[in-house]
Amino acid sequence: MQKVGFFKSIHVKLVLIYMLLIIIALQIIGIYFMKQLETNLKTNFQDSIRQRIELVHYSIREEMLKKESDDTAPPLEVRLGTILHEFSTEDINKIYVVNNRNRILAISGANNQSLVGQRANEENIRKAISAETMFDSISLDRDTGKRVWVLASPITETVGPSGEVMGAVYVESNIEKVYEQLSEINRIFAAGIAMSLVITIILGILVARTITRPISDMRKQAQAMSRGNYSRKVRVYGTDEIGQLAIAFNHLTNRLQEAQSTTEAERRKLASVLSNMTDGVIATDRKGKIILINEPALELLHDSRETTLNRPIASVLGLDQEYSFEDLIHMKEPVNLDFSMNDAPYILRANFSVIQKETGFVNGLITVLHDITEQEKIDMERREFVANVSHELRTPLTTMRSYLEALADGAWRDENIAPTFLNVTQTETERMIRLVNDLLQLSKMDSQEYELNFEFVEFNKFFTRIIDRFEMSKSQHVEFIRLLPEKSYYVDIDTDKLTQVIDNIISNALKYSPDGGNIRFGFTVHDNMLRVMISDDGMGIPKENVGRIFDRFYRVDRARARSMGGTGLGLAIAREMIEAHGGKIWAESEEGQGTTIFFTLPYALDEAEDWE
């Protein structure tokens, strides 16, 4: 989870909001307070000056109205000067009196006495004389740069505005003091604000912590939960909204933990069911992408999990050319997947079932795969076998029918033809009996309904007896060459069955050997196995067919083999019998050069020596 930046944290935000609110509140109070204070101080200052001026004003008017009859009395300027001198106080910078022609009659301050008699060029004085009212303003003193309050008041002959103007009084008072006082108060106020801010920040931090601590605790728990740790609990600090949220959060954690463990147990169960199944199982999402595939399915498809996950199911099953995912969803019948390569058949059967919600919304598809190669092979062999048997039986039966028809049509009367025809039907009947006998024998072997009667025999003698039998009865000029060892070798065999095998091999060798050919017989011992060899130099078998001559009904040249009375089952029976003895049978052949049939039999050396 993302870390919360310092300035983005609720804690800092709360403190900042708190501070801003306090600053704004203090500012509003401060501005209002300072304004009120300023007006108040200014009014007080001006009122006190005004009251004093009124007194001076009165004295000056009295002096100016005095008739200058008394010669002993000092001149008006001196008298006025005395009044002004008496009046001068610290907060009055300058005070002077002008007559109605704007000439200065008296002025305060020893340095200013030179100005007496000169014209006063103050704007306020002129205005006061001409308008006959009081004028005042605050301005900057050019010399000191301090604020001064300037007041000009007309002096009339009578009290009140109706009298004639005799002159005016001009007072310049030092109002800067008031402003200095104000800025001092301002400073005290600012210090107060700063102090209260510091205190409120500290308090803010503490108050905000009581809110943010449980929240940050819950945040940490949510982070732990996302990592799968449900053991953590949020501390409950109280029963307020945050406390209740913490309780609810803890409750939620418990429920989540329970749900998680249930899901986990279900998941494990499902995983173990899936992995222990012998069938392959593939699950897809609603778009047909593979989200789950078990081990047997990967083995059946010869694929890896990395390459199959997230791939479309139709393409993994090799069905994308024929079916879309939509088709597979609606597929009711199983589909056979043919992965056969050259001669190796490999067929899988896929059954599909849709994962659907109650609303009918398709959530995915489950495919179950099984290997039906063996079953298909058996089915195919069975079909082939039935076809072969029918064919093998039909051929002699058709032949017999045509001969019998010919006989019935009157050929039986012909002494020359009738015996030949009857002979043919007899041969065909015998071949059919042989065929049926062979089939019965094979069927017995298939159903394991036979038992081998083992006998301990000296192989050399046993083999020689069979060869002798053939040598005596043979009709062709074929040389029998015996390459048999001198030493005696004993084997545990069913002599009847093995005689049948050797008979079959020798009769084949005779059948496919030309007149004047040789047939060699021999056996050796290799790795506790007796290896028997019967070799001819007849017509041979084409290389590509050598492996198939032990299959049922397989004949290299059908017509020829049949004409020789073969059933095509002789070597198939031989293979079954040799394998039942625990041996192997195979052929080596070169077309036109000859054929060698080998078979092996288990040979127990120790037992053989005991016998000797």
Shortest CA distance to 151 belongs to which of 287, 57, 217, 232? Answer: 57
Look at phi and psi of residue 316 and say left if phi exceeds 0, alpha if psi is from -120 to 50, else beta: alpha
Q: Which of 595, 574, 580, 600 minimizes the C-alpha distance to 500?
A: 574
**Could you tell me the smallest distance in angstroms from the CB atom of residue 558 to ligand ADP?**
8
State the pairing for strand pair 455-458/290-293.
unpaired
CB under 6 A: which stretch of 26-34, 219-227, 332-340, 561-569 binds ligand ADP?
561-569
- List 56, 60, 166, 571, residue binding ligand ADP (CB under 6 A): 571
d(CA 127, CA 135): 7
Is 536 one of the binding residues for ligand ADP (CB under 6 A)?
yes
Which stretch, 105-113, 406-414, 547-555, 599-607, contacts ligand ADP (CB under 6 A)? 547-555
Binding of residue 556 to ligand ADP (CB under 6 A): yes
Minimum distance between the CB of residue 512 and ligand ADP, rounded to whole angstroms? 3
Q: Which is nearer to ligand ADP, 325 or 512 (CB)?
A: 512
Options 172, 567, 581, 608; binder of ligand ADP; rule CB under 6 A? 567
Size of the site for ligand ADP (CB under 6 A): 22
In the complex, minimum distance from the CB of residue 572 to ligand ADP, in angstroms, rounded to a whole number = 6
Applying CB under 6 A, does 504 fall inside the site for ligand ADP? yes
First to last CA, the chain: 87
Helical packing angle, 176-226 and 241-276, nearest 10° = 30
Q: How far apart are CA 286 and CA 576, in angstroms?
A: 53
Pairwise CA distance, residues 586 & 578, whole Å? 10
Q: Which is nearer to ligand ADP, 61 or 497 (CB)?
A: 497
Distance of CA 154 to the CA centre of its chain: 97
Candidate residues 478, 509, 578, 585; the one interacting with ligand ADP per rule CB under 6 A: 509
**Nearer to ligand ADP by C-beta: 212 or 567?**
567
Contact stretch for ligand ADP (CB under 6 A) within 141-149, 202-210, 261-269, 564-572: 564-572
For residue 78, the SS3 value is helix
Q: Is 124 in the site for ligand ADP (CB under 6 A)?
A: no
Q: Give the helix/strand (H/E) hosting 570.
A: helix 570-580
259 phi/psi in degrees, rounded to 5: -60, -40
Contact 62, 79 (CB under 8 A): no
- Alpha-carbon torsion angle 159, 163, 166, 171, nearest 10: 50
Asked whether position 539 contacts ligand ADP by CB under 6 A, the answer is yes
Binding region for ligand ADP (CB under 6 A) out of 48-56, 105-113, 422-430, 565-573? 565-573
Query: Is 566 one of the binding residues for ligand ADP (CB under 6 A)?
Result: yes
Which residue has its beta carbon closest to ligand ADP? Answer: 566
The footprint of ligand ADP (CB under 6 A) covers 504, 508-509, 512, 536, 538-539, 541, 549, 554-557, 561, 566-572, 595
